[in-house]
Structure 1
Amino acid sequence: MNMEFEFIARLVLAGILGALIGFERERRYKEAGLRTHFLVSVGSALIMIISKYAFGDILHQNNIGLDPSRIAAQVVSGVGFLGAGTILVQRQSVRGLTTAAGLWATSAVGLAIGAGMYLVGILGALLILLGLEVLKLIFKSVLPTKTYKLSVQTYSNEMTPAIVDILSANNLTVSEYQVKLRQTDNGTLYIIDFQLNPIKAIKENQITKDLQALHDIETIKFK
């Protein structure tokens, strides 16, 4: 019975550590957040407990040989497929690699806690949080600033200030923009290309929705 309480404590601790890592991802509006990391960590710990302790009742039987690491080893490849689902290829760029790596590392934390390696698991979780949050702040001054490009087409030459206001409201700074003119059957089409610097995580769906509320907007395209 005491051992079962210890197993429960391991699952709870794994869940807490996974949730801490997931909270950092959730705060940055990433594809896999608090719940996903919580489940990965708890699931990994549970699999490790099963792999290490679940077959003790048959080990004494003749002709029975077990590898206690065999089940736990499948977590590494299994979480790899899960992480692949968070990787998106959009507009000639790859997004989600950090989140995928975080899921993979979180599964390792769960395995460590499930095996009873509390100090290693806690230190691993702290190092993961360090890599996700602190290192970016330390090297922020030398890392290149991530930029986004937005192209908006409209038949009104008075839409630029309204578009800039919406972008600013969504924590985007317009570093520069260029206006091109194209003559069409419906009149003069204004193609406005913006270069944007995000203050925090960009929400493309919300920005698109806000821009669509403006009159005379023909197309909205993030590049």
Structure 2
Amino acid sequence: MELNLSLQEITIRLIMALAMGGVIGTEREYKNRPAGLRTHMLVCLGATIIALTQVEIAAASLQQAREFPELVSVLRSDQTRLIAQIVSGVGFLGAGTIIVSNRSIKGLTTAASIWTVAGLGIAIGMGYYLIAICSFVGIILSLTVIDRVVRVHTMKKMEIRYVHRSETKEFIMNYFEENKINVEALDFDVEFFEDYRIYTNVYTVDLPGKMSYSQVMEDLSRYKNITKIRIVDI
């Protein structure tokens, strides 16, 4: 790593930060996530600027130590000091993208991508190009390829509202048995009205590998007594 940075070197690092942050941000914006293109570009660029500043501080300290050897004992240049502030500070920005509602958490991947992009900017700013390029490839693979190659079977809760308890409950259980859907738990609720009742069952279900929750919802929604179906993340 060179301490005396030329204008060309600074420009290259800043352009790399904008380009790599922009590509990652484009992927997040394409998926309609809270932090998109501009946010990721600015985070990566900001981390690069701070890292560049730290490099220049270290270079200035080294230069002063050469010119004034008697001051070596009092001169300090900790290249991790500003970087540590980036790591902790970006955490607050990432936390702002996390949304918690109805026992569902959204935005964790975007928060992680923001934090990772800051690390990418640090690597670029410090001049560790091999780390930056390999990290960039890893981030892109994590966001675009991994979820297509590696399928993690998720257990979810399915909330079903219906009328006519006996026949509808029998229909639901028969559907689960025919499609080999395993019911891990069941929560039951009923609302009383003057001349009718509405029942709500919350099933914790584990689907077979070939089935999707959207398919199950579509199949069940065809039954006339079912009034509402929704998926609740555990």
Q: TM-score, normalised by structure 2?
A: 0.62
The separation in 2 between residues aligned to 1:147 and 1:35, in whole angstroms, is 36
- Measured after TM superposition, the shift of residue 143 of structure 1 is 3.0
| SS of the residue 1:193 aligns to | strand
Q: Which of 13, 16, 25 matches 1:22?
A: 25
- Measured after TM superposition, the shift of residue 179 of structure 1 is 6.7
Q: Which of 109, 128, 132 matches 1:121?
A: 132
The separation in 1 between residues aligned to 2:37 and 2:78, in whole angstroms, is 33
- Measured after TM superposition, the shift of residue 149 of structure 1 is 6.9
Match of 2:55 in 1: 52
Q: Quick one: which amino acid aligns to residue 76 of structure 1?
A: V
The separation in 2 between residues aligned to 1:55 and 1:113, in whole angstroms, is 16
The separation in 1 between residues aligned to 2:122 and 2:43, in whole angstroms, is 10
Asked whether 1:78 is paired with 2:113, we answer no
> Which 4+ residue blocks in structure 1 deviate beyond 6 angstroms?
145-151
- Measured after TM superposition, the shift of residue 4 of structure 1 is 1.8
The separation in 2 between residues aligned to 1:104 and 1:47, in whole angstroms, is 15
The separation in 1 between residues aligned to 2:15 and 2:136, in whole angstroms, is 14
- Measured after TM superposition, the shift of residue 192 of structure 1 is 3.1
Contact 1:148 1:195 in 2 (8 A): yes
Contact 1:179 1:193 in 2 (8 A): no
The separation in 2 between residues aligned to 1:146 and 1:113, in whole angstroms, is 41
The separation in 1 between residues aligned to 2:85 and 2:5, in whole angstroms, is 28
Map 1:1-223 to 2 at 5 A: 3-54=6-57, 56-59=59-62, 60=64, 62=71, 63-140=74-151, 142-144=152-154, 174-175=217-218, 176-177=220-221, 192-195=227-230
| SS of the residue 1:120 aligns to | helix
- Measured after TM superposition, the shift of residue 144 of structure 1 is 3.3
| SS of the residue 1:67 aligns to | coil
Contact 2:61 2:76 in 1 (8 A): no
Extract unaligned runs of 5+ from structure 1: 152-171, 181-190, 197-223
The separation in 2 between residues aligned to 1:11 and 1:5, in whole angstroms, is 10
- Structure-2 change in CA distance of 1:35 and 1:58 (3 Å): same
Question: Alignment length, in residue pairs?
Answer: 165
Q: TM-score, normalised by structure 1?
A: 0.65
Contact 1:52 1:69 in 2 (8 A): no
Contact 1:44 1:108 in 2 (8 A): yes
The separation in 2 between residues aligned to 1:77 and 1:148, in whole angstroms, is 38
Q: What is the percent sequence identity of the aligned residues?
A: 37
- Measured after TM superposition, the shift of residue 150 of structure 1 is 9.9
The separation in 2 between residues aligned to 1:150 and 1:108, in whole angstroms, is 44
| SS of the residue 2:34 aligns to | coil
Deviations 1:54-113 (A, max 9, x none): 353455152221212211221100111110001110111111111111111111111001
The separation in 2 between residues aligned to 1:148 and 1:24, in whole angstroms, is 30
